[in-house]
Amino acid sequence: MTNKTYKKHSTKVVKDGKKTYIINSFLEDDSNRSIANILFTLMLRELEKDK
């Protein structure tokens, strides 16, 4: 973990049946935000497969 100040913070809540996933992301800038969104989308696809 680097010692940077994180300007943006986002929390996403995903409800998957009875389970609830809460994802916190600390993002430094918009390029990181788009990467985080791509990773989040990939993770959601994995959750869909598990059903």
Closest CA to 13 of 24, 26, 2, 4: 24
The confidence score (pLDDT) of residue 49 equals 75
User: Is there a contact between 26 and 8 (Cβ–Cβ < 8 Å)?
Assistant: yes
> pTM value?
0.32
The confidence score (pLDDT) of residue 42 equals 82
Q: What would the pLDDT profile of 20-39 be if each residue is shown by its tens digit?
A: 777 776 655 566 667 777 77
* 1 pLDDT more than 60: no
